A and B are shown apart, each in its own frame.
Chain A
Amino acid sequence: MADDVLLEVNQLKTYFYMGGNVAKAVDGVDFTIKKGKTLAIVGESGSGKSMTSLSIMQLVPGPTGKIVDGAVKLSGKDLLKLSDKQMEKVRGNEIGMVFQEPMTSLNPVFTVGTQIKEPLMKHRGLSKSQAFQKGVELLKLVGFPRAEDTMKEFPHQLSGGMRQRVMIAIAMSCDPKLLIADEPTTALDVTIQAQILDLMKKVQKEFDSSILLITHDLGVVAEMADDIIVMYGGQVVEQATRRQLLKTPKHPYTVGCWKVCLA
Protein backbone atom coordinates (compact mmCIF):
# COMPACT_ATOMS: atom_id res chain seq x y z
CA MET A 1 0.00 0.00 0.00
CA ALA A 2 1.27 3.43 -0.88
CA ASP A 3 2.37 5.65 1.98
CA ASP A 4 -0.15 8.39 1.31
CA VAL A 5 -3.17 6.07 1.53
CA LEU A 6 -5.16 6.38 4.76
CA LEU A 7 -8.13 4.12 4.14
CA GLU A 8 -8.36 1.24 1.73
CA VAL A 9 -11.66 -0.56 1.18
CA ASN A 10 -11.49 -3.86 -0.72
CA GLN A 11 -14.42 -5.88 -2.03
CA LEU A 12 -16.65 -4.75 0.82
CA LYS A 13 -19.95 -6.61 0.92
CA THR A 14 -22.79 -5.77 3.31
CA TYR A 15 -25.98 -7.73 2.92
CA PHE A 16 -29.37 -7.57 4.59
CA TYR A 17 -31.18 -10.84 5.24
CA MET A 18 -34.92 -10.41 5.46
CA GLY A 19 -37.29 -13.35 5.41
CA GLY A 20 -35.19 -15.48 3.05
CA ASN A 21 -34.42 -12.55 0.75
CA VAL A 22 -30.96 -11.04 0.50
CA ALA A 23 -30.64 -7.32 -0.20
CA LYS A 24 -27.09 -6.55 -1.35
CA ALA A 25 -26.77 -3.03 0.00
CA VAL A 26 -23.02 -2.91 -0.56
CA ASP A 27 -21.83 -5.36 -3.18
CA GLY A 28 -18.09 -5.49 -3.70
CA VAL A 29 -17.01 -1.89 -3.20
CA ASP A 30 -13.36 -0.82 -3.64
CA PHE A 31 -11.85 2.58 -3.02
CA THR A 32 -9.01 4.36 -1.28
CA ILE A 33 -8.79 7.67 0.54
CA LYS A 34 -5.49 9.56 0.57
CA LYS A 35 -4.17 11.37 3.60
CA GLY A 36 -5.51 14.89 3.92
CA LYS A 37 -7.81 14.48 0.92
CA THR A 38 -11.56 14.39 0.51
CA LEU A 39 -13.30 11.54 -1.22
CA ALA A 40 -16.96 12.02 -2.10
CA ILE A 41 -19.34 9.13 -2.63
CA VAL A 42 -22.29 10.19 -4.74
CA GLY A 43 -25.34 8.25 -5.80
CA GLU A 44 -29.10 8.18 -5.48
CA SER A 45 -31.08 7.05 -2.43
CA GLY A 46 -30.58 3.34 -1.84
CA SER A 47 -27.37 3.15 -3.83
CA GLY A 48 -25.44 1.98 -0.77
CA LYS A 49 -23.51 5.15 0.10
CA SER A 50 -24.62 5.32 3.72
CA MET A 51 -24.28 1.56 4.23
CA THR A 52 -20.71 1.79 2.95
CA SER A 53 -19.89 4.39 5.58
CA LEU A 54 -21.70 2.51 8.35
CA SER A 55 -19.84 -0.65 7.30
CA ILE A 56 -16.51 1.14 7.75
CA MET A 57 -17.63 2.06 11.29
CA GLN A 58 -19.22 -1.39 11.80
CA LEU A 59 -22.47 0.29 12.75
CA VAL A 60 -24.62 -1.60 10.25
CA PRO A 61 -28.08 -1.91 11.81
CA GLY A 62 -28.48 -5.45 13.15
CA PRO A 63 -29.60 -8.13 13.40
CA THR A 64 -30.63 -8.24 9.72
CA GLY A 65 -27.59 -6.41 8.32
CA LYS A 66 -24.19 -8.11 8.10
CA ILE A 67 -20.80 -7.36 6.64
CA VAL A 68 -20.20 -10.63 4.80
CA ASP A 69 -16.88 -10.07 3.07
CA GLY A 70 -14.09 -7.65 2.29
CA ALA A 71 -11.45 -5.62 4.06
CA VAL A 72 -11.41 -2.11 5.51
CA LYS A 73 -7.81 -1.08 6.14
CA LEU A 74 -7.13 2.05 8.14
CA SER A 75 -3.40 2.82 7.97
CA GLY A 76 -2.87 -0.81 7.03
CA LYS A 77 -4.90 -2.25 9.94
CA ASP A 78 -7.94 -4.32 8.89
CA LEU A 79 -10.84 -3.02 10.97
CA LEU A 80 -13.05 -5.99 10.12
CA LYS A 81 -10.63 -8.27 11.96
CA LEU A 82 -10.81 -6.27 15.20
CA SER A 83 -12.81 -7.38 18.24
CA ASP A 84 -15.77 -5.30 19.45
CA LYS A 85 -13.61 -3.83 22.23
CA GLN A 86 -10.82 -2.89 19.81
CA MET A 87 -13.37 -1.38 17.41
CA GLU A 88 -14.72 0.83 20.23
CA LYS A 89 -11.25 2.37 20.41
CA VAL A 90 -11.31 3.15 16.69
CA ARG A 91 -14.75 4.76 16.65
CA GLY A 92 -14.69 8.37 17.74
CA ASN A 93 -10.92 8.17 18.18
CA GLU A 94 -9.39 7.32 14.80
CA ILE A 95 -12.59 7.85 12.80
CA GLY A 96 -15.11 10.55 13.62
CA MET A 97 -18.57 10.59 12.09
CA VAL A 98 -21.18 13.24 11.38
CA PHE A 99 -24.70 12.20 10.44
CA GLN A 100 -27.42 13.55 8.21
CA GLU A 101 -29.96 14.42 10.89
CA PRO A 102 -28.61 17.01 13.33
CA MET A 103 -32.07 17.35 14.92
CA THR A 104 -32.06 13.77 16.23
CA SER A 105 -28.37 12.89 16.34
CA LEU A 106 -27.74 14.34 19.80
CA ASN A 107 -29.18 12.76 22.93
CA PRO A 108 -32.02 15.02 24.11
CA VAL A 109 -31.57 14.31 27.83
CA PHE A 110 -27.88 15.21 28.16
CA THR A 111 -26.18 18.59 27.86
CA VAL A 112 -23.94 19.40 24.91
CA GLY A 113 -21.04 19.36 27.37
CA THR A 114 -21.74 15.84 28.60
CA GLN A 115 -21.88 14.56 25.05
CA ILE A 116 -18.71 16.28 23.90
CA LYS A 117 -16.78 15.26 27.04
CA GLU A 118 -17.59 11.54 26.67
CA PRO A 119 -15.16 10.67 23.85
CA LEU A 120 -12.47 12.94 25.31
CA MET A 121 -12.62 11.16 28.65
CA LYS A 122 -12.80 7.72 27.08
CA HIS A 123 -10.23 7.96 24.30
CA ARG A 124 -7.92 10.68 25.60
CA GLY A 125 -8.19 9.80 29.29
CA LEU A 126 -8.91 13.41 30.25
CA SER A 127 -10.39 14.32 33.62
CA LYS A 128 -13.81 15.96 33.75
CA SER A 129 -12.42 19.47 34.05
CA GLN A 130 -9.78 18.90 31.35
CA ALA A 131 -12.48 17.51 29.06
CA PHE A 132 -14.62 20.55 29.80
CA GLN A 133 -11.77 22.90 28.83
CA LYS A 134 -11.10 20.94 25.65
CA GLY A 135 -14.84 20.92 24.88
CA VAL A 136 -14.95 24.71 25.19
CA GLU A 137 -11.98 25.00 22.81
CA LEU A 138 -13.64 22.71 20.29
CA LEU A 139 -16.93 24.59 20.44
CA LYS A 140 -15.09 27.88 19.91
CA LEU A 141 -13.35 26.34 16.91
CA VAL A 142 -16.66 25.35 15.33
CA GLY A 143 -18.05 28.84 15.89
CA PHE A 144 -19.76 29.12 19.27
CA PRO A 145 -18.71 32.48 20.75
CA ARG A 146 -20.14 31.77 24.22
CA ALA A 147 -18.88 28.20 24.33
CA GLU A 148 -18.90 27.89 28.15
CA ASP A 149 -22.65 28.54 28.19
CA THR A 150 -23.28 26.26 25.21
CA MET A 151 -21.60 23.41 27.08
CA LYS A 152 -24.38 23.63 29.68
CA GLU A 153 -27.21 23.78 27.15
CA PHE A 154 -29.38 20.93 25.94
CA PRO A 155 -29.64 20.05 22.24
CA HIS A 156 -33.25 21.28 22.01
CA GLN A 157 -32.03 24.78 22.85
CA LEU A 158 -29.92 24.87 19.67
CA SER A 159 -30.92 25.25 16.01
CA GLY A 160 -30.24 22.58 13.39
CA GLY A 161 -27.15 24.31 12.07
CA MET A 162 -25.78 24.77 15.60
CA ARG A 163 -26.40 21.12 16.41
CA GLN A 164 -24.50 20.07 13.30
CA ARG A 165 -21.61 22.25 14.47
CA VAL A 166 -21.74 20.43 17.79
CA MET A 167 -21.72 17.10 15.94
CA ILE A 168 -18.62 18.20 14.00
CA ALA A 169 -16.95 19.28 17.25
CA ILE A 170 -17.71 15.86 18.78
CA ALA A 171 -16.50 14.02 15.67
CA MET A 172 -13.24 16.00 15.64
CA SER A 173 -12.75 15.95 19.42
CA CYS A 174 -10.14 13.20 19.47
CA ASP A 175 -8.28 14.44 16.41
CA PRO A 176 -9.32 11.55 14.15
CA LYS A 177 -7.42 10.68 10.98
CA LEU A 178 -10.67 10.27 9.09
CA LEU A 179 -13.94 12.18 9.26
CA ILE A 180 -16.94 10.46 7.74
CA ALA A 181 -19.69 12.92 6.92
CA ASP A 182 -22.91 11.21 5.87
CA GLU A 183 -24.96 13.87 4.07
CA PRO A 184 -23.98 16.49 6.64
CA THR A 185 -25.82 19.34 4.94
CA THR A 186 -28.90 17.65 3.49
CA ALA A 187 -31.18 18.58 6.39
CA LEU A 188 -29.99 22.20 6.54
CA ASP A 189 -31.05 25.25 4.58
CA VAL A 190 -28.76 26.66 1.90
CA THR A 191 -26.94 29.42 3.79
CA ILE A 192 -26.28 27.11 6.73
CA GLN A 193 -25.09 24.43 4.27
CA ALA A 194 -22.38 26.77 3.01
CA GLN A 195 -21.28 27.57 6.57
CA ILE A 196 -21.07 23.89 7.52
CA LEU A 197 -19.04 23.07 4.40
CA ASP A 198 -16.65 25.94 5.15
CA LEU A 199 -16.35 24.68 8.68
CA MET A 200 -15.52 21.18 7.49
CA LYS A 201 -12.79 22.56 5.25
CA LYS A 202 -11.46 24.56 8.18
CA VAL A 203 -11.29 21.59 10.56
CA GLN A 204 -9.78 19.43 7.84
CA LYS A 205 -6.91 21.92 7.56
CA GLU A 206 -6.66 22.35 11.31
CA PHE A 207 -6.47 18.62 12.07
CA ASP A 208 -4.91 17.53 8.75
CA SER A 209 -7.50 14.79 8.40
CA SER A 210 -9.10 13.04 5.46
CA ILE A 211 -12.83 13.27 4.77
CA LEU A 212 -15.19 10.69 3.39
CA LEU A 213 -18.12 12.77 2.22
CA ILE A 214 -21.38 11.09 1.37
CA THR A 215 -23.84 13.16 -0.58
CA HIS A 216 -26.24 13.28 -3.46
CA ASP A 217 -25.67 16.99 -3.93
CA LEU A 218 -23.29 17.56 -6.83
CA GLY A 219 -22.85 21.19 -5.85
CA VAL A 220 -21.37 20.03 -2.56
CA VAL A 221 -19.15 17.58 -4.45
CA ALA A 222 -17.82 20.28 -6.77
CA GLU A 223 -17.06 22.43 -3.73
CA MET A 224 -15.39 19.85 -1.50
CA ALA A 225 -14.11 16.72 -3.20
CA ASP A 226 -10.65 15.80 -4.46
CA ASP A 227 -11.77 12.41 -5.71
CA ILE A 228 -15.22 11.09 -6.46
CA ILE A 229 -16.81 7.68 -6.70
CA VAL A 230 -20.27 7.15 -8.10
CA MET A 231 -22.36 4.33 -6.63
CA TYR A 232 -25.39 2.62 -8.07
CA GLY A 233 -27.15 -0.50 -6.79
CA GLY A 234 -24.50 -1.18 -4.16
CA GLN A 235 -21.60 -1.04 -6.63
CA VAL A 236 -19.07 1.56 -7.67
CA VAL A 237 -19.82 2.47 -11.29
CA GLU A 238 -17.21 5.16 -11.77
CA GLN A 239 -14.19 6.45 -9.90
CA ALA A 240 -12.16 9.52 -10.89
CA THR A 241 -10.74 12.83 -9.71
CA ARG A 242 -13.17 15.70 -9.44
CA ARG A 243 -11.80 17.38 -12.56
CA GLN A 244 -12.07 14.24 -14.69
CA LEU A 245 -15.51 13.33 -13.48
CA LEU A 246 -17.03 16.77 -13.85
CA LYS A 247 -15.47 17.38 -17.25
CA THR A 248 -15.63 13.98 -18.91
CA PRO A 249 -17.93 11.58 -17.11
CA LYS A 250 -17.61 8.12 -18.66
CA HIS A 251 -20.31 5.92 -17.28
CA PRO A 252 -23.80 6.50 -18.77
CA TYR A 253 -25.30 6.65 -15.26
CA THR A 254 -22.91 9.45 -14.30
CA VAL A 255 -23.68 11.29 -17.52
CA GLY A 256 -27.39 10.97 -16.73
CA CYS A 257 -26.85 12.31 -13.23
CA TRP A 258 -25.00 15.33 -14.52
CA LYS A 259 -27.74 16.07 -17.06
CA VAL A 260 -30.39 16.00 -14.37
CA CYS A 261 -28.24 18.21 -12.21
CA LEU A 262 -27.59 20.82 -14.87
CA ALA A 263 -31.15 20.84 -16.21
Chain B
Amino acid sequence: MAKYILRRLLIFIPMLFIVTIVVFTLATLAPGDPLTGQQLDPTIDPAALEERREALGLNDPPPVQYINWLSEVATGNLGDSLYFSGRTVQDLIWSRLPNTVYLAVFSLFITLVIGLPLGIYAARKQYTAADYFVTTFGFFGLAVPNFFFALLAVYFFSFQLGWFPAQGTQSSASISGLAEFLDRLHHLILPGLTLGLASVAIYMRYIRSEMLDVLSSDFVRTARAKGMTKGTVVYKHTLRNATIPIITLLGFEFGTLVSGAVVTEAVFNFPGIGQLFLTGIQNRDFPLIMGINLLIGVTILVGNLLADIMYAVVDPRIRYD
Protein backbone atom coordinates (compact mmCIF):
# COMPACT_ATOMS: atom_id res chain seq x y z
CA MET B 1 0.00 0.00 0.00
CA ALA B 2 2.74 2.47 1.01
CA LYS B 3 4.66 1.52 -2.12
CA TYR B 4 1.59 2.15 -4.21
CA ILE B 5 0.97 5.59 -2.70
CA LEU B 6 4.62 6.52 -3.21
CA ARG B 7 4.46 5.48 -6.84
CA ARG B 8 1.29 7.47 -7.37
CA LEU B 9 2.98 10.49 -5.83
CA LEU B 10 5.90 10.11 -8.26
CA ILE B 11 3.51 10.00 -11.21
CA PHE B 12 2.01 13.16 -9.75
CA ILE B 13 5.13 15.18 -10.66
CA PRO B 14 5.14 14.76 -14.47
CA MET B 15 1.36 15.25 -14.44
CA LEU B 16 1.85 18.52 -12.62
CA PHE B 17 4.30 19.59 -15.35
CA ILE B 18 1.77 18.78 -18.02
CA VAL B 19 -0.82 20.84 -16.14
CA THR B 20 1.51 23.86 -16.09
CA ILE B 21 2.19 23.50 -19.83
CA VAL B 22 -1.54 23.30 -20.62
CA VAL B 23 -2.34 26.25 -18.36
CA PHE B 24 0.39 28.37 -19.93
CA THR B 25 -0.41 27.37 -23.52
CA LEU B 26 -4.10 28.15 -23.12
CA ALA B 27 -3.29 31.57 -21.74
CA THR B 28 -0.87 32.34 -24.59
CA LEU B 29 -3.28 31.06 -27.25
CA ALA B 30 -6.01 33.44 -26.11
CA PRO B 31 -6.21 36.47 -28.43
CA GLY B 32 -4.63 39.66 -27.14
CA ASP B 33 -2.51 40.14 -24.07
CA PRO B 34 -3.01 41.91 -20.73
CA LEU B 35 -2.44 45.30 -22.31
CA THR B 36 -4.74 44.86 -25.32
CA GLY B 37 -7.69 46.56 -23.64
CA GLN B 38 -5.70 49.70 -23.00
CA GLN B 39 -4.88 50.20 -26.68
CA LEU B 40 -8.42 51.52 -27.17
CA ASP B 41 -7.78 54.29 -24.68
CA PRO B 42 -6.69 57.36 -26.78
CA THR B 43 -4.92 58.97 -23.82
CA ILE B 44 -2.36 56.19 -23.62
CA ASP B 45 0.65 56.47 -25.86
CA PRO B 46 1.16 53.27 -27.95
CA ALA B 47 4.90 53.64 -27.52
CA ALA B 48 4.52 53.56 -23.73
CA LEU B 49 2.40 50.40 -24.02
CA GLU B 50 5.10 48.83 -26.14
CA GLU B 51 7.66 49.76 -23.53
CA ARG B 52 5.58 48.11 -20.79
CA ARG B 53 5.22 45.01 -22.94
CA GLU B 54 8.97 44.80 -23.25
CA ALA B 55 9.40 45.36 -19.51
CA LEU B 56 6.85 42.66 -18.62
CA GLY B 57 8.52 40.21 -20.98
CA LEU B 58 5.42 39.87 -23.15
CA ASN B 59 7.50 40.17 -26.32
CA ASP B 60 9.72 37.19 -25.44
CA PRO B 61 9.11 33.96 -27.35
CA PRO B 62 6.53 31.74 -25.53
CA PRO B 63 9.02 29.05 -24.36
CA VAL B 64 11.12 31.75 -22.67
CA GLN B 65 7.98 33.20 -21.08
CA TYR B 66 7.02 29.73 -19.90
CA ILE B 67 10.41 29.08 -18.30
CA ASN B 68 10.30 32.47 -16.58
CA TRP B 69 6.81 31.85 -15.30
CA LEU B 70 7.56 28.31 -14.19
CA SER B 71 10.69 29.28 -12.27
CA GLU B 72 8.67 31.86 -10.38
CA VAL B 73 5.81 29.38 -9.77
CA ALA B 74 8.32 26.85 -8.42
CA THR B 75 9.27 29.31 -5.68
CA GLY B 76 5.62 29.89 -4.83
CA ASN B 77 5.31 33.18 -6.64
CA LEU B 78 2.35 33.24 -9.02
CA GLY B 79 3.05 36.81 -10.12
CA ASP B 80 1.40 40.17 -9.60
CA SER B 81 -2.22 40.65 -10.44
CA LEU B 82 -2.73 43.15 -13.24
CA TYR B 83 -6.26 44.13 -12.25
CA PHE B 84 -5.90 44.23 -8.46
CA SER B 85 -2.85 46.47 -8.58
CA GLY B 86 -0.27 45.99 -5.86
CA ARG B 87 -1.44 42.49 -4.88
CA THR B 88 0.15 39.17 -5.77
CA VAL B 89 -1.92 36.33 -7.19
CA GLN B 90 -1.09 33.98 -4.31
CA ASP B 91 -2.16 36.67 -1.88
CA LEU B 92 -5.53 37.05 -3.68
CA ILE B 93 -6.06 33.28 -3.82
CA TRP B 94 -5.25 32.83 -0.14
CA SER B 95 -7.68 35.58 0.82
CA ARG B 96 -10.54 33.89 -1.09
CA LEU B 97 -9.72 30.22 -0.67
CA PRO B 98 -11.12 29.76 2.87
CA ASN B 99 -14.56 31.01 1.77
CA THR B 100 -14.60 28.63 -1.17
CA VAL B 101 -13.45 25.73 0.98
CA TYR B 102 -16.23 26.39 3.53
CA LEU B 103 -18.76 26.54 0.73
CA ALA B 104 -17.37 23.38 -0.87
CA VAL B 105 -17.36 21.37 2.34
CA PHE B 106 -20.84 22.55 3.30
CA SER B 107 -22.35 21.83 -0.11
CA LEU B 108 -20.66 18.44 -0.31
CA PHE B 109 -22.07 17.65 3.11
CA ILE B 110 -25.56 18.57 1.89
CA THR B 111 -25.09 16.46 -1.22
CA LEU B 112 -23.98 13.35 0.63
CA VAL B 113 -26.41 13.66 3.55
CA ILE B 114 -29.39 14.00 1.21
CA GLY B 115 -28.24 12.15 -1.90
CA LEU B 116 -26.94 8.88 -0.47
CA PRO B 117 -29.85 8.06 1.89
CA LEU B 118 -32.38 8.95 -0.82
CA GLY B 119 -30.61 6.73 -3.34
CA ILE B 120 -30.38 3.81 -0.89
CA TYR B 121 -34.04 4.27 0.03
CA ALA B 122 -35.11 4.34 -3.62
CA ALA B 123 -33.12 1.16 -4.30
CA ARG B 124 -34.69 -0.66 -1.35
CA LYS B 125 -38.18 0.38 -2.49
CA GLN B 126 -37.62 -0.21 -6.20
CA TYR B 127 -40.70 0.36 -8.40
CA THR B 128 -42.81 1.74 -5.55
CA ALA B 129 -44.41 5.18 -5.45
CA ALA B 130 -41.58 6.35 -3.17
CA ASP B 131 -38.97 5.23 -5.70
CA TYR B 132 -40.76 7.01 -8.57
CA PHE B 133 -41.09 10.15 -6.47
CA VAL B 134 -37.41 10.22 -5.56
CA THR B 135 -36.35 9.47 -9.14
CA THR B 136 -38.59 12.21 -10.52
CA PHE B 137 -37.21 14.61 -7.94
CA GLY B 138 -33.78 13.61 -9.19
CA PHE B 139 -34.60 14.49 -12.80
CA PHE B 140 -36.06 17.77 -11.62
CA GLY B 141 -32.85 18.57 -9.76
CA LEU B 142 -30.77 17.75 -12.83
CA ALA B 143 -32.97 19.81 -15.13
CA VAL B 144 -33.17 23.06 -13.15
CA PRO B 145 -30.12 25.23 -13.88
CA ASN B 146 -28.06 26.29 -10.91
CA PHE B 147 -28.41 30.04 -11.38
CA PHE B 148 -32.19 29.78 -11.69
CA PHE B 149 -32.44 27.83 -8.48
CA ALA B 150 -30.09 30.34 -6.83
CA LEU B 151 -32.27 33.27 -7.93
CA LEU B 152 -35.42 31.54 -6.68
CA ALA B 153 -33.73 30.83 -3.36
CA VAL B 154 -32.64 34.46 -2.98
CA TYR B 155 -36.11 35.70 -3.93
CA PHE B 156 -38.07 33.47 -1.54
CA PHE B 157 -35.77 32.92 1.40
CA SER B 158 -34.07 36.33 1.50
CA PHE B 159 -36.48 38.90 0.09
CA GLN B 160 -39.84 37.33 0.86
CA LEU B 161 -39.19 35.43 4.07
CA GLY B 162 -36.02 37.15 5.21
CA TRP B 163 -34.65 33.96 6.72
CA PHE B 164 -31.19 34.07 5.21
CA PRO B 165 -28.87 36.85 4.00
CA ALA B 166 -28.87 37.28 0.21
CA GLN B 167 -25.15 37.82 -0.17
CA GLY B 168 -21.71 37.93 1.39
CA THR B 169 -20.04 35.70 3.96
CA GLN B 170 -20.37 37.70 7.19
CA SER B 171 -22.65 40.43 8.46
CA SER B 172 -19.97 42.08 10.57
CA ALA B 173 -16.23 41.71 10.83
CA SER B 174 -16.24 42.59 14.54
CA ILE B 175 -17.73 39.35 15.90
CA SER B 176 -15.61 36.33 16.71
CA GLY B 177 -15.71 32.83 18.16
CA LEU B 178 -18.94 30.85 18.08
CA ALA B 179 -20.99 33.88 17.03
CA GLU B 180 -18.74 34.32 13.99
CA PHE B 181 -19.01 30.65 13.11
CA LEU B 182 -22.81 30.71 13.32
CA ASP B 183 -22.95 33.93 11.32
CA ARG B 184 -20.77 32.42 8.59
CA LEU B 185 -22.89 29.28 8.59
CA HIS B 186 -26.01 31.42 8.25
CA HIS B 187 -24.50 33.06 5.17
CA LEU B 188 -23.44 29.69 3.78
CA ILE B 189 -26.84 28.04 3.85
CA LEU B 190 -28.39 29.44 0.66
CA PRO B 191 -25.33 29.14 -1.61
CA GLY B 192 -24.47 25.81 0.00
CA LEU B 193 -27.96 24.42 -0.58
CA THR B 194 -27.99 25.68 -4.17
CA LEU B 195 -24.67 24.07 -4.91
CA GLY B 196 -25.35 20.94 -2.86
CA LEU B 197 -28.83 20.21 -4.17
CA ALA B 198 -27.59 20.44 -7.75
CA SER B 199 -25.39 17.39 -7.15
CA VAL B 200 -27.87 15.49 -4.97
CA ALA B 201 -29.59 14.08 -8.03
CA ILE B 202 -26.35 12.80 -9.52
CA TYR B 203 -25.23 10.99 -6.36
CA MET B 204 -28.73 9.71 -5.70
CA ARG B 205 -29.05 8.15 -9.12
CA TYR B 206 -25.56 6.65 -9.00
CA ILE B 207 -26.02 5.05 -5.61
CA ARG B 208 -29.53 3.84 -6.51
CA SER B 209 -28.46 2.04 -9.66
CA GLU B 210 -25.33 0.68 -8.04
CA MET B 211 -27.26 -0.57 -5.00
CA LEU B 212 -29.79 -2.28 -7.29
CA ASP B 213 -26.96 -3.91 -9.17
CA VAL B 214 -25.28 -5.19 -6.02
CA LEU B 215 -28.56 -6.19 -4.32
CA SER B 216 -29.19 -8.70 -7.11
CA SER B 217 -25.72 -10.23 -6.87
CA ASP B 218 -25.01 -13.74 -5.67
CA PHE B 219 -23.17 -12.78 -2.51
CA VAL B 220 -26.12 -10.73 -1.28
CA ARG B 221 -28.27 -13.84 -1.72
CA THR B 222 -25.64 -15.74 0.27
CA ALA B 223 -25.82 -13.17 3.06
CA ARG B 224 -29.60 -13.54 3.18
CA ALA B 225 -29.27 -17.34 3.09
CA LYS B 226 -27.06 -17.05 6.18
CA GLY B 227 -29.99 -15.40 7.97
CA MET B 228 -28.53 -11.90 8.10
CA THR B 229 -31.02 -9.13 8.89
CA LYS B 230 -32.15 -6.76 6.16
CA GLY B 231 -30.08 -3.98 7.74
CA THR B 232 -26.89 -6.06 7.70
CA VAL B 233 -27.55 -7.14 4.12
CA VAL B 234 -28.11 -3.59 2.89
CA TYR B 235 -25.67 -1.55 4.95
CA LYS B 236 -22.84 -4.04 5.35
CA HIS B 237 -22.86 -6.40 2.39
CA THR B 238 -24.33 -4.15 -0.29
CA LEU B 239 -23.34 -0.60 0.53
CA ARG B 240 -19.60 -1.16 0.69
CA ASN B 241 -19.64 -2.74 -2.76
CA ALA B 242 -21.83 0.06 -4.10
CA THR B 243 -19.57 2.92 -2.97
CA ILE B 244 -16.88 2.44 -5.62
CA PRO B 245 -18.49 4.64 -8.31
CA ILE B 246 -19.25 7.21 -5.62
CA ILE B 247 -15.54 7.43 -4.85
CA THR B 248 -14.82 8.11 -8.53
CA LEU B 249 -17.45 10.82 -8.50
CA LEU B 250 -16.04 12.37 -5.33
CA GLY B 251 -12.56 12.39 -6.85
CA PHE B 252 -13.80 14.51 -9.76
CA GLU B 253 -16.01 16.65 -7.56
CA PHE B 254 -13.03 17.53 -5.38
CA GLY B 255 -11.53 19.61 -8.18
CA THR B 256 -14.74 21.17 -9.39
CA LEU B 257 -15.76 22.23 -5.90
CA VAL B 258 -12.90 24.72 -5.89
CA SER B 259 -13.72 26.09 -9.33
CA GLY B 260 -17.24 24.99 -10.11
CA ALA B 261 -19.05 27.51 -7.97
CA VAL B 262 -18.48 30.43 -10.40
CA VAL B 263 -22.16 30.94 -11.16
CA THR B 264 -23.39 30.37 -7.64
CA GLU B 265 -20.76 32.65 -6.16
CA ALA B 266 -21.68 35.33 -8.69
CA VAL B 267 -25.41 35.17 -7.87
CA PHE B 268 -24.82 35.33 -4.12
CA ASN B 269 -21.98 37.84 -4.45
CA PHE B 270 -19.95 35.37 -2.46
CA PRO B 271 -16.26 36.33 -2.34
CA GLY B 272 -14.70 33.00 -3.28
CA ILE B 273 -12.31 31.65 -5.89
CA GLY B 274 -15.08 31.35 -8.49
CA GLN B 275 -15.89 35.02 -8.33
CA LEU B 276 -12.20 35.93 -8.38
CA PHE B 277 -11.78 33.75 -11.46
CA LEU B 278 -14.65 35.54 -13.21
CA THR B 279 -13.18 38.95 -12.38
CA GLY B 280 -9.82 37.78 -13.71
CA ILE B 281 -11.33 36.63 -17.00
CA GLN B 282 -13.39 39.79 -17.47
CA ASN B 283 -10.30 41.95 -17.01
CA ARG B 284 -7.73 39.85 -18.88
CA ASP B 285 -5.76 39.36 -15.70
CA PHE B 286 -3.54 36.63 -17.13
CA PRO B 287 -1.40 35.92 -14.05
CA LEU B 288 -4.57 35.55 -11.96
CA ILE B 289 -6.29 33.27 -14.50
CA MET B 290 -3.18 31.11 -14.78
CA GLY B 291 -2.79 30.95 -11.02
CA ILE B 292 -6.36 29.83 -10.47
CA ASN B 293 -6.18 27.35 -13.37
CA LEU B 294 -3.09 25.88 -11.81
CA LEU B 295 -4.87 25.60 -8.46
CA ILE B 296 -7.82 23.82 -10.11
CA GLY B 297 -5.48 21.46 -11.96
CA VAL B 298 -3.65 20.57 -8.77
CA THR B 299 -6.88 19.96 -6.82
CA ILE B 300 -8.18 17.66 -9.54
CA LEU B 301 -4.92 15.71 -9.44
CA VAL B 302 -5.10 15.48 -5.64
CA GLY B 303 -8.76 14.43 -5.85
CA ASN B 304 -7.91 11.59 -8.21
CA LEU B 305 -5.00 10.53 -6.05
CA LEU B 306 -7.27 10.36 -3.00
CA ALA B 307 -9.88 8.43 -5.02
CA ASP B 308 -7.26 5.88 -6.10
CA ILE B 309 -6.17 5.37 -2.51
CA MET B 310 -9.78 5.05 -1.37
CA TYR B 311 -10.46 2.34 -3.98
CA ALA B 312 -7.74 0.22 -2.47
CA VAL B 313 -9.11 0.79 1.03
CA VAL B 314 -12.69 -0.15 0.08
CA ASP B 315 -12.02 -3.03 -2.29
CA PRO B 316 -9.29 -5.52 -1.35
CA ARG B 317 -9.18 -6.83 -4.93
CA ILE B 318 -7.61 -3.54 -5.99
CA ARG B 319 -3.91 -3.75 -5.24
CA TYR B 320 -1.56 -1.88 -7.46
CA ASP B 321 1.78 -3.53 -6.88
Q: Which A residues are within 8 Å of any B CB, using their own CB?
A: 57, 59, 61, 63, 84, 88-93, 96-97, 99, 101, 104-110, 118-119, 122-123, 154, 156, 167, 170-171
Contact = CB atoms under 8 A, between A and B. Distances in A.
23 contacts: A59-B221, A61-B216, A63-B126, A88-B229, A91-B224, A92-B227, A97-B225, A104-B218, A105-B219, A105-B221, A106-B219, A106-B222, A107-B222, A107-B223, A108-B241, A109-B314, A109-B316, A110-B237, A118-B223, A119-B226, A154-B317, A170-B226, A171-B225
Nearest to A85: B229
Contacts of A108: 219, 241, 315-317
Interface of B: 126-127, 216-219, 221-230, 232, 237, 240-241, 314-317
B18 to A, nearest CB: 34
Given A63-B127, A107-B241, A101 B226 contact: no
A191 B316 CA distance: 30
B219 A107 contact: yes
Contacts of B126: 63
A11 B225 CA distance: 23
A109 B222 contact: no
Nearest to A170: B226
Interface of chain B: mostly helix, strand, loop or mixed: helix
Contacts of A61: 216
Nearest to A173: B226
Nearest to B230: A84
Nearest to B225: A97
Nearest to A58: B224
A118 B237 CA distance: 11
Nearest to B216: A61
A119 B221 CA distance: 14
Contacts of A167: 222
Given A88-B227, A99-B221, A107-B219, 11 more contacts: A91-B224, A92-B225, A92-B226, A92-B228, A99-B218, A109-B240, A109-B314, A109-B317, A118-B232, A123-B227, A156-B316
Contacts of A106: 219, 222
Given A59-B221, A104-B218, A109 B315 contact: yes
B27 to A, nearest CB: 45
Contacts of A107: 219, 222-223, 237, 241
Nearest to A103: B218
Contacts of A63: 126-127
Given A61-B216, A63-B127, A104-B218, A118 B226 contact: yes
B160 to A, nearest CB: 43
Given A109-B314, A109-B315, A89 B227 contact: yes
A106 B126 CA distance: 24
A216 to B, nearest CB: 19
Nearest to A153: B316
Q: Give 5 closest A-B pairs by Cβ, nearest first.
A: A92-B227, A92-B226, A91-B227, A104-B218, A107-B219
A164 B262 CA distance: 55
B215 to A, nearest CB: 10
A88 B217 contact: no
Given A109-B241, A109-B314, A109-B316, A57 B225 contact: yes
Contacts of A109: 240-241, 314-317
Nearest to B219: A107
Nearest to A63: B127
B309 to A, nearest CB: 16
A97 B232 CA distance: 18
B313 to A, nearest CB: 10
A90 B218 contact: no
A156 B314 CA distance: 14
A101 B218 CA distance: 8
Contacts of A118: 223, 226, 228, 232
Nearest to B221: A59
A104 B219 contact: yes
B241 A105 contact: no
A258 B235 CA distance: 47
A105 B223 CA distance: 9
A108 B217 CA distance: 11
B227 A122 contact: yes
Nearest to A93: B227
Contacts of B217: 104
A159 B223 CA distance: 20
B165 to A, nearest CB: 45
